[in-house]
């Protein structure tokens, strides 16, 4: 670069600077008007404003980290334990909102609607009678071991269901009745029973599946049964040992039962280092499964007792009337592989044991 | 009456754990339970900060919302306390709490939870103030003695503040003003002091 060129360049620079300065002097008084115009247009103003500091504030970064907004962030702490390095448990709010605003109200609505539907059906249609009445001939439907497995599962299911529902709804339903102190004792007992008997449900579920799975695979004809709603509103539908409705209950109970057991064990034994998030998720699955299973069980219980004449004896003493079998499980009856021997203690009865609904 | 709050100044906390020790000692907190803990994030990295955390005595406490036996109550000082006679140790408050404040002593086999224990803002429990029963169940009741929580009183750098929310925010506001830009932009004062001055700050690489 020559000397002249440098000079020319300097000259040009000076000229342009003078021009800029002149322009600035002319325009400076206009700035307030410009600002006024910019503030009138909020969007333009925010675009025009430039943050002079481009380094992000470490304070904001700190709080973003501990609030776990972008990613799970854990610090270190001298306090030993699970999750102690987590400053903010962001999932806690999700869990709380699920329990308080979804599980509790919608669970109550679901169970209430099912109960109301059953009651409405019973009031309008009454118990489903055996066509032709009791024949007096008894057929063995459930063996002693099958009944034991059923009642072990059913008993545990209701023990856990009642204690669980007490913990879920007690604050709203029972505290007004018992008072804070009274309900605390009830709830404490319910918690201990729930936590002690809960693990046993695993063994009951395994026994239930092993015992009943062989007759619960869906076969041809189950579709017809379902499409006619099992003849609930009239008409006869053929069914094997278990009809499609019973099979659906079996599979729902199996699926939800194991979901309940697995999540229940995670919640019950908090000694394997599972963190809050795992337990919150487990509780969501546990609560949903429980409420749905309880609601569906209402239908099962109704049909096994008051809803259908002659069905309760099958789980009480194992025997059903031949006419009952003809009406509800004709294909199973035709298989003809059922022991029909009668034992002395129910020989004299005509419709199952004393006290059974007829 | 005041509205009691904790505030931990992350620019001051030096992770000495004095608050944790003071709390354990003052309240005879059982083994395995820590009502307060100091958490350090970015340990050993630029931007390392420590915070002392315990029950924050929320105005609308999530623990109280989910408690199945309704054992929580808020005092007229805004302190969230709970009744251990009602508590059944279900652990729901621990799931709901954002800060991990509720603690459970292990009382039986398989880690079954005992009655929940948490920071009381050194405010005792529902029992008669400064009674033996209150002392056994909840620890000290310094509020009844006209004192503030010991964790904050012991804090060597005055990072942890406890007291009326108005007073605390006043103190913190003064600190922020005194620190000036450093609190808004740590980088300006320390690591990379490159203010975005046109042409670059004198004597500094761009």
User: B135: Cβ–Cβ under 8 A, 6 or more apart, which residues?
Assistant: B28, B124, B141
CA torsion, ordered A99, A102, A104, A109, to nearest 10 deg: -170
pLDDT tens digits for range B77-103: 999 999 999 999 999 999 999 999 999
Contact between B66 and A79 using a beta-carbon 8 Å cutoff: no
Q: What is the pLDDT along chain A (358 residues), one digit of tens a residue?
A: 567 777 777 777 777 777 777 777 767 766 666 666 555 554 444 444 555 544 455 566 677 777 776 667 788 899 888 888 888 888 999 999 999 999 999 999 999 999 999 999 999 988 888 888 888 888 899 999 999 999 999 999 999 999 999 999 999 999 999 999 999 999 999 999 999 999 999 999 999 999 999 989 998 888 888 888 877 776 778 888 898 889 999 999 999 999 999 999 999 998 888 989 999 999 999 999 999 999 999 999 999 999 888 899 999 999 999 889 888 888 888 886 665 544 444 444 444 444 444 4
Interchain CB distance below 8 Å, B65 and A168: no
Tokens 């008993």 belong to A155
Cα A91 from Cα B100, distance rounded (Å):
12
Tokens of A23: 């322009």
* DSSP letter assigned to residue A174: T
Number of domains chain B contains: 1
Residue B81's DSSP bridge partners are B73
In a domain, B203, yes or no: no
Beta strands in A25-100 (DSSP E): 76-77
For tokens 């060129």, the residue is A5
At A327, is the secondary structure helix, strand, or coil?
Answer: helix
The average pLDDT across B184-206 equals 47
Share of chain B above pLDDT 70, in %: 86
Which residue in the block uniquely carries the two structure tokens 């999700």? A94
Q: CB B41 to CB A87 under 8 A?
A: yes
Which of A58, A39, A59 is closest to A49 using CA atoms? A39
CB A45 within 8 A of CB A36: no
In a domain, B170, yes or no: yes
A92–B187 CB contact, under 8 Å: no
Closest CA to A138 of A295, A334, A347, A355: A347
Distance from CA of B19 to the nearest CA of A (A): 12
Residue of chain B whose Cα is closest to the Cα of A270: B111
B130-169 tens-digit pLDDT: 999 999 999 999 999 999 999 999 999 999 999 999 999 9
Say which of A53, A92, A175 has its CB closest to residue B62: A92
Provide the domain limits for residue B60: 4-184
Probe site for chain A from B69, B104, B109 (most A CB atoms < 10 A): B69
**Is the separation of the CB atoms in A276 and B116 below 8 Å?**
no
Q: What pLDDT, on the 0 to 100 scale, is given for residue A354?
A: 45
Shortest CA gap B37–chain A (Å): 6
Distance in Å, alpha carbon of B146 to nearest chain A alpha carbon? 30
Specify if B205 maps to a domain. no
Hey, what's the torsion of the CAs at B107, B110, B112, B118, to 10 degrees?
70
Query: Could you tell me if A77 and B39 are in contact, meaning their C-beta atoms sit under 8 angstroms apart?
Result: yes
* Residue B202 maps to a domain: no
Residues of chain B contacting residue A66, judged by C-beta atoms under 8 Å apart: 39, 41, 51
What lies within 8 Å, CB to CB, of B157 at 6+ separation is B12, B13, B14, B16
∠B46-B52-B56 over CA atoms, to 5°?
130
Closest CA to A140 of A340, A355, A348: A340
Report how far Cα A188 is from the mean position of its chain's Cα atoms. 23
- Give A238 to chain B, closest Cα distance, Å: 48
**Contact assignment for B98 to A85 by CB distance below 8 Å:** no
Secondary structure of chain B in the HEC alphabet? CCCEEEEECCCCCCCCCHHHHHHHHHHCCCCCCCCCEEEEECCCCCCCEEEEECCCCCCCCHHHHHCCCCCEEECCCCCEEECCCCCCCCCHHHHHCCCCCCECCECCHHHCECCCECCCCCECCCCCCCCHHHHHHHCCECCCCCCCCHHHHHCCCCCEEEEEHHHHHHHHHHHHHHHCHHHHCHHHHCCCCCCCCCCCCCCCCC
Domain of B101, CATH number, reads: 3.30.70.20
Using a CB-CB distance cutoff of 8 angstroms, which residues of chain B are in contact with residue A100? 65-66
Model pLDDT, residue A337: 63
pLDDT value for A31: 66
Chain A interface, best mutation among B95, B195, B201, by max A CB count within 10 A = B95
Tokens of A16: 């342009």
Tell me what the mean pLDDT of segment B39-60 comes to.
90
- Cβ of A171 within 8 Å of Cβ of B70? The answer is yes
B95 is a domain residue:
yes
Nearest to B20 among A79, A188, A276 (CB): A79
Chain B residue nearest residue A104, CA to CA: B66
> Which residues share a beta bridge with B106?
B113
Q: Which residues in chain B touch residue A168, judged by CB atoms under 8 angstroms apart?
A: 68
Q: Is residue B176 part of a domain?
A: yes
Structural domain contains residue B12: yes
Tell me if ipTM is over 0.95: no
User: Do the beta carbons of residue A175 and residue A183 sit within 8 Å?
Assistant: yes
pLDDT of amino acid A27: 72
How close A190 gets to chain B, by Cα (Å)? 10
Q: Which of A73, A76, A86 comes nearest B100 by C-beta?
A: A86
Q: Which residues pair with A17 in a beta bridge?
A: none
Among candidates B54, B64, B57, B59, which has minimal Cα distance to B22? B54
Please state, rounded to an integer, the average pLDDT across all residues of chain B. 86
Tell me how many helices (H) and strands (E) chain A has: 16, 3
Chain A positions in Cβ-Cβ contact with residue B196 (cut-off 8 Å): 52-54
Among A20, A50, A54, A59, pick the best mutation site for testing chain B contact (most B Cβ within 10 A): A59
Q: Tell me the count of A-B CB pairs closer than 8 A.
A: 147
Q: Is residue B142 part of a domain?
A: yes
Torsion angle defined by CA atoms of residues B13, B17, B20 and B23, in that order, rounded to the nearest 10 degrees: -80
Do B50 and B76 form a contact (C-beta atoms < 8 A)? Answer: no
Say whether A77 and B38 touch across the interface (CB within 8 A): yes
Token pair for B7: 């505030």
How confident is the model at residue B204, as a pLDDT? 42
Contacts of B86 in chain A (CB under 8 A): 180-181, 184
Cα angle for residues B23, B24, B29 (degrees, 5° grid) = 120
């Amino acid at each position: 670069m020559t000397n002249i060129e440098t000079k020319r360049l300097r000259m040009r620079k000076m000229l342009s600077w003078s021009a800029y300065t002149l322009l600035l002097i002319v325009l400076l008084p206009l700035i307030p008007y410009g600002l006024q115009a910019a503030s009138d247009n909020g969007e333009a103003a925010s675009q025009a404003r430039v943050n002079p500091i481009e380094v992000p504030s470490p304070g904001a970064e700190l709080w973003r980290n501990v609030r776990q907004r972008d990613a799970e962030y854990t610090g270190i702490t001298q306090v030993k334990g699970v999750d102690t390095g987590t400053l903010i448990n962001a999932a806690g709010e999700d869990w709380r909102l699920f329990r308080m605003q979804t599980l509790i109200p919608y669970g109550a609505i679901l169970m209430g609607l099912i109960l109301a539907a059953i009651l409405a059906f019973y009031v309008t249609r009454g118990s489903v009678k055996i066509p032709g009445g009791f024949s007096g001939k008894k057929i063995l439907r459930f063996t002693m071991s099958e009944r034991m497995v059923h009642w072990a599962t059913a008993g545990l299911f209701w023990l856990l269901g009642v204690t669980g529902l007490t913990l879920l709804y007690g604050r709203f339903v029972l505290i007004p009745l018992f008072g804070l102190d009274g309900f605390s004792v009830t709830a404490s007992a319910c918690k201990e029973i729930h936590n002690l008997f809960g693990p046993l449900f695993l063994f009951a579920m395994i026994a239930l599946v092993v015992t009943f799975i062989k007759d619960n695979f869906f076969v041809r004809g189950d579709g017809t049964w379902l499409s006619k709603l099992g003849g609930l509103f009239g008409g006869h539908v053929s069914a094997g040992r278990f009809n499609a409705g019973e099979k659906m209950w079996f599979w729902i109970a199996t699926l939800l039962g194991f979901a309940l057991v697995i999540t229940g064990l995670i919640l019950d034994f908090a000694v394997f280092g599972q963190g809050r998030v795992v337990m919150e998720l487990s509780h969501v699955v546990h609560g949903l499964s429980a409420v749905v299973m309880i609601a569906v069980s209402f239908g099962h219980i109704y049909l096994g007792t008051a809803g259908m004449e002659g069905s309760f004896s099958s789980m009480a003493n194992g025997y059903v009337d031949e006419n009952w079998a003809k009406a509800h499980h004709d294909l199973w009856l035709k298989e003809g592989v059922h022991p029909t021997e009668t034992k002395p203690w129910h020989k004299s009865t005509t419709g199952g044991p004393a006290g059974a609904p007829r | 009456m005041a509205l009691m709050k904790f505030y931990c100044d992350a620019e001051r906390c030096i992770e000495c754990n004095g608050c944790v020790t003071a709390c354990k000692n003052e309240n005879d907190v059982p083994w395995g339970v820590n009502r307060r803990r100091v958490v350090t994030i970015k340990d050993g990295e630029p931007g390392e900060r420590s915070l002392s955390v315990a029950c924050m005595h929320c105005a609308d406490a999530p623990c109280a919302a989910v408690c199945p036996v309704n054992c929580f109550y808020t005092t007229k000082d805004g302190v969230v306390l709970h009744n251990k006679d009602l508590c059944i140790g279900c652990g729901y408050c621990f799931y709901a709490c954002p800060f991990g404040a509720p603690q459970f002593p292990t009382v039986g086999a398989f880690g079954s939870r005992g009655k929940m224990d948490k920071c009381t803002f050194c405010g005792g429990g529902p029992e008669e103030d400064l009674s033996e029963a209150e002392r056994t169940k909840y620890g000290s009741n310094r509020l009844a003695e006209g004192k503030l929580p010991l964790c904050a009183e012991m804090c060597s750098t005055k990072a942890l503040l406890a007291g009326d929310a108005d007073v605390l925010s006043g103190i913190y506001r003064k600190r922020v003003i005194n620190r000036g830009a450093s609190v808004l932009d740590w980088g300006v004062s320390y690591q990379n002091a490159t203010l975005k001055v046109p042409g670059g700050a004198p004597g500094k690489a761009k």
